[in-house]
Structures are given as structure tokens and as C-alpha cells.
Structure 1
């Protein structure tokens, strides 16, 4: 197979040699074949030179030709280095880099699939809690407690919203629309949607944002990120009558949005990892309701929108999340 491939590859050389022979004979024919022996000698010399060149070329490429004419059984077989010529050495290097790119893409797809499966399993497990509570409320023979029902429905709604965002985050660019959005309007709308969560936890929002302040962002995705920040702020404020202070400030041509709570804070050991997927930390284990995906998704959205996210916190001193536009 290797020899056959080599011959097929070098057919132009044989055609060229044939043209050289015809050219030499034509010259001597025009000269009247006065020195025919010299013509024959010239043809023989050119043939010897061609055959010698092809033989040297063939033996230099034998291992490489044998390699590419046999289907590899393992990837290690395909990545063996057998080339001896600069061209084939470069080809092998290209194949190794191509395989590296392929590995990175496969690993990214595997991680994405694994993350989706793990999140879905955790989400299904956590959604059993509000469903169980609803079933107990419905089985109660007394009057239906609409307040508790609404709380569990809200938990289901927030869980559904998170799983939908997680499913769409990989195709974020297809659903992104950057425009000037009113920051106070988005924050106010988000707080109104979470008002029952505030009331249940006896936490109060305080907004210090100018009415006309606008930023360049996607209103839908930004709203989800802010919702996650506020939800976490409320959820980890265990004492009643505490505040969630949402304010803005201008600095060097940028707008800073601060979301500050008076909750239990984040341990220093967890602070650098709270935006990692599935990381719940000490606080998540205290509540038992954390999926470890809220801040991860919010951070991913902020990065894709080009908004810098910083988190400052300390144990029992609250947490301040800052978005830089």
C-alpha cells in the first residue's frame, strides 16, 4: 500500500521525465541525429537521476507511508512520530495540534453534559420539597393556607426559571439583545417579584438609585442575575428586620451597582469559590436548599454581558455584591 501510494503521488515526476526525454530527442532530431549516442546517454543519465531521487525519497518516507496506509487501532498509533522529511514532520505536528483541539472540545462537551445532568438531578431532588409541602397542605382537612401555598409555588417558579436559564446559557448569544435599560426599573421590578420572599424572611429592601440612570445591558438576563443576588441576600439574612441596601455610584466613567445585605456573610475560605458550579459552601449546608448554581449562572451571565462582578464579605458582617457597568 505504501509503495502504491508513493507511485500515485509521484506520477507527475514520471510525466515530467517523459517530457524531458521527448525534449532531448526533439533537439537531436532537429540536429539530424548526428550524435545519437550522446542523446541516448543523456536520456539514461536523466532516468538514473530520477530513479535515484525517487528511491531516496521513498525510503525516507517508508515509515510515514506505512503509518498512513494502515488504519490505527488506538489514538496512540495515529500519533506516533515516524516522519523524517520537513513536510511530513509539519503534517504530524499539525495532526497532534488538531487532536489537542479535538480533546479540548470533547472535554468541554463532556463537562457541559455532566454539569447539566448533575444540576438537573439536584434540582429534581430539591423540587420534591415544595411538592411534598403542597401535598401536605392539600391533605389538611382545615382551610387551605394560601400563604404557604403561594410560598411553595414561588419556590417552584424560581426553580423552573433557574433550570431554564441553565439550559439556555450555552446559547446565550442567540438570545442576547444589548440596549439602554433603566437600572432602577429593573431593580424595582425584581424586588416586586420577590416581595413575598422579603415578607416571609422579614427583610426590607432599600433602593438608592437615580430615576434616570441607564446602563447598556440585556434587561432579561440582567434581571435574572440581580434576582439571584437579591435572593441570596435575603435567604442568608436569618435575623428579622434587617435590610438589603441597593445603591449605585459613578466612578471613572463606569456605573457601580451595590447590593449589600446584613446577613451571616461568607467565610473567607469560600469567597473565591462561591461562583463555581455546584459549590454550596458552609452557608449552603446550613440551609440545605442551595443547588450551588445561582451565583454560578449569575456570574456566567455577567461575564457574557461584559459586567464585572466582585463580592466582598466577612462572617457575620454581611455581603456586598458589586456589578460594574
Structure 2
């Protein structure tokens, strides 16, 4: 009962381990999934900067590289060169839908500096060659909105000339302040004058009339449509849809599954924003993709944990099994010793208490004492030999063995010992070979004893066949005993292992076949078994052959 309770506790412990490990596995997967989801949702908000920079790259190129090209012409753009320049912009930048070019004259007047437009051109994709919308000679009135752009830049130039320091170059702050006007959907730019021109302009402003020349100056107004920017989603795993919306746009969609974020556009695009949307179900694919390595890593950890648990369980089970085998071994060994000792003691008491012994009685008791002493001696020799073979502490004593003589002696001794045992041998095409006679005799003895012990009374029969096969000699032992279950065949050569059957109830140490296996391995041989329950077993012993 104590042992059953012990194993029951083991199974509860295993069940608890499996439950806890599985719970930790599920919790770890849940936490990993939550972590990945949080990372994706944070990236949904954070990565919009990457998308914004990607999509305003063409606007930045236009603003920082293409617009300043106007200054390269130093105010000498005419209708032809202005057309070429405007055409290059309209062809490359889809968000620029109209360009107005002011061909400006700067000179001296009674009031000081004179700034006025000579010609004004308008360029569109429909009229790439440009339309003249103002000509000074025609005394036309300039459109009020166009006039505001010009007057604004003329005022900035006049202010700049008044403050300009001709001893140094113009810095970036001055360029941004006086030569750009940036409004929502519109940029006005005036070319930066040379230092010599600035000196002349200051003289005009101061009333110096020595200079009567007229100076050329260029002003461009670019009309921007942010909705025409070609959007590119460089994070398609995060953003299901990207749109340009008015700055104060607010969705009316109240779907809790919808995630949104936005980023305002810079400069002339400032009246609009980049608007990002994704459904949680859309992000699920990316979450699962990134979660997969975590799941695999956790699964590997779970598998390793189970392997460790299994190894611990196997080790504990092995130790339990060894304990049980050793326990059975001690019990059986005690029984094996106890029986002969009891018989010897009884025989000794009978001899001692008898007043006189007849000859046949004396021989009978003598035979009993001799047989029981042999049993004890054989048992002790087996244990001692097993230990010596395992420790490699004995050496093989090779000698020439005449097989017929060797088998005849064994068969005759067993006929005397077991009269009801039908033991036969057959030798084919071989007569002698070199081996250790004593160790070979021990193999024969154990296999013959098992054949007798594990056979029913009416089927105690064993046939030994000896034959040569290539460079090996084979010993085949075929009995008609009770046979061995298939699931036990892998265990019968293990030390202290006993097949559970009624034939083992009288006690068995569990060393016989294990001893044979060790002996044959020590002799560079092998042993194999085939068996059918109820019909018998066949043991095939193989040893290297040398004449």
C-alpha cells in the first residue's frame, strides 16, 4: 500500500507540473501577443513621421532646390527662359498647378527707389507657353490678388534695402524673411540681388541721381494644390489608408475598430494634414507576423522545459525501477540462499538426531547436502563472475574445445540432474574452436536451466544446434517452453529484470540472461532471441570462430 501511495503522489506531481507549465506557456503567449500589439499600435503613431518625410520629399526638393534657381538668372529672365523654367516645374511637380512670373524693373524716382512690374505672365499646364496677364504699356490694371503678391514682395525688398549691410553677404535668416512669402497653398519668391546691385539700390533710395539705369528683377508666385501630392505608403504593414485632408477635418466614423492618427503638412501645405487610418483587423496580420518568432521561442522554451521535466521523470522512474529491482533482487537472493540453507540445516539436524544411519539414508542425506551446497556455490560464483566481468577484472583463457565432447558432458550431467528433460544437440560442419571453456559452459548452463525452468512438465525439451556461418560459430537453443511476451523481449537481458509469470513465483534473482549477455559481449559475441507465447523461444548465440 505504501508503494502505491508513493506512485500516486508521483502522478499528481507530474499532472501539476504539466498544468503549471501549460499555464505558464499560455500566459507567456498572451503577454507576448499583448506586447507585440502595443508595439504595433505605438509604431502606428510613431512611424507617421517616416511616411510624412517620404511624401513631402518632392515638396522639399521643390522648395529648397528648384525655387532658388530663380536667383541664378540675376533678374534677367525673359519670356522664353521663364517659360522653360516654369515648364520644368509644372512637368516635375504635380502639386504646382499655376505659376505667375513678374518681370520687374527697379530704378530711381523722385520719391527714391522705384519698383514696378513691366510684364506679368501666367503659366499653367494648359498654357505652357504662358499668358501675359499684365503689360505696362497697355495701361491695364493688375488683378488685385496678383497685385497683392507683387506689392508684398516690393515692400519686403524696399525694407531689405533700407536695412542691408553691403559689407557682408546675405545670411539665411534674411533670405527667408525678405525674399520668401509663404502662405497656405502659395509661395512667392524674389531673386536675391548681387552685392553691387544692393549698393546701387541703396543709392536710389537715398536720392542719388547719378545712376539712371533700369535694373531687372524677377518675382515668381507658385500656386500649390496639396491634394495633388502623390502619396506613397512606405509602411503598408501599419497604414491601411493614407489621405490628405483639410487641417480641421474630423472623421464622423465612430467604429471602435478604426485607428486614426494625423500629421500636419509644412509650409505652403499647412492648410492640410496627412491622415492615417487602419482597422485593428488589418493590423492583426502584422501583429501575427511579428508574434510568430516570439511564439516559436516560447514554444521552444516550453518544449525544453518538458524535455527537462521528462528527463527528471525518467531519471526518477529509473531510480524507482532500480530500487524495485534491487529490492526484488535482495528478496529473491535471500530466498535462494534461505532454501538451500534450510534444507542443509534440516538434513544436518536429522543426521545429528539419528541414533544410527543406514547406508541408503546416509547416501540420501549426502546427496541432499551436496546438491544444496552446489546451488549455493553456483549462485555465489554467478554473482562473483558477473561483478568480475562488469569490472573487466578477469581474462579470457582460450583453449581448443572439442564440441562433441563439450556437449556430451553437459547433456549427460543434465540427464542425471533432470531425468524428465529431453535435451538433444546437433553439430554441423564444425568440430573444434578456440574459446574460454568455462565461460562458454556458463552460457550453456544458464540457457539450459531457463529452458527447463520455463517449460511445462510435459514440454521440457531443448534442442541445441551448432553450425558455422562465415567467420562466426552459431549456437542455437530451441525450446518448447511458455515463451516470452513481445513487449518483454527488450528487457530480458537487463540486470535484475524478471518476466512476471507463475514460473517466477518461486524466486529468481534476474541475473541469468543478463549474465549471458555480459559474458558474450566480453567474449566479442552476441545473443538474440525470438519467441512466441505458448510455443517456445529460440536463443541464437554468436561467437567469433577460430580453429
TM-score by length of 2: 0.35
Report the structure, 1 or 2, having the larger helix content: 1
Find runs of 4+ consecutive structure 1 residues off by over 6 angstroms.
115-118
Are residue 162 (structure 1) and residue 372 (structure 2) matched? no
- Other-structure match for 1:123: 333
Could you tell me whether the CA contact under 8 Å between 1:236 and 1:263 is conserved in 2? yes
SS at match of 2:457: coil
Matches within 5 A, 1:153-232: 153-172=373-392, 174-199=394-419, 202-209=420-427, 213-232=431-450
Could you tell me whether the CA contact under 8 Å between 1:182 and 1:212 is conserved in 2? no
Could you tell me whether the CA contact under 8 Å between 1:207 and 1:246 is conserved in 2? yes
- Other-structure match for 2:460: 242
Could you tell me whether the CA contact under 8 Å between 2:481 and 2:537 is conserved in 1? yes
Aligned-partner Cα distance in 1 for 2:392–2:501: 29
Change over 3 Å in CA distance of 1:185–1:138 after alignment to 2: same
Are residue 134 (structure 1) and residue 352 (structure 2) matched? no
Are residue 308 (structure 1) and residue 518 (structure 2) matched? no
Aligned-partner Cα distance in 1 for 2:384–2:394: 15
Change over 3 Å in CA distance of 1:151–1:241 after alignment to 2: farther
Are residue 256 (structure 1) and residue 466 (structure 2) matched? no
Residue 173 of structure 1, CA deviation: 5.8
- Other-structure match for 1:66: none
Change over 3 Å in CA distance of 1:161–1:190 after alignment to 2: farther
Residue 285 of structure 1, CA deviation: 5.8
Report the structure, 1 or 2, having the larger strand content: 2
Could you tell me whether the CA contact under 8 Å between 1:183 and 1:213 is conserved in 2? yes
Could you tell me whether the CA contact under 8 Å between 1:187 and 1:226 is conserved in 2? no
Residue 162 of structure 1, CA deviation: 1.0
Matches within 5 A, 1:15-34: none
Residue 177 of structure 1, CA deviation: 2.5
Aligned-partner Cα distance in 1 for 2:510–2:400: 31
Could you tell me whether the CA contact under 8 Å between 1:187 and 1:223 is conserved in 2? no
Residue 240 of structure 1, CA deviation: 3.5
Cα RMSD after superposing both structures = 3.1
Q: What are structure 1's unaligned runs of at least 5 residues?
A: 1-111
Aligned-partner Cα distance in 2 for 1:296–1:228: 10
| 1:48-94 Cα shifts (integer Å, max 9, x gaps) | xxxxxxxxxxxxxxxxxxxxxxxxxxxxxxxxxxxxxxxxxxxxxxx
Aligned residues: 211
Are residue 294 (structure 1) and residue 481 (structure 2) matched? no
| 1:284-312 Cα shifts (integer Å, max 9, x gaps) | 76342310011111100101111121111
TM-score by length of 1: 0.56
Structure whose alpha-carbon radius of gyration is higher: 2
| 1:246-289 Cα shifts (integer Å, max 9, x gaps) | 11233344321111112111122211111100001124763423
SS at match of 2:418: helix
SS at match of 2:509: coil
Aligned-partner Cα distance in 2 for 1:233–1:324: 18
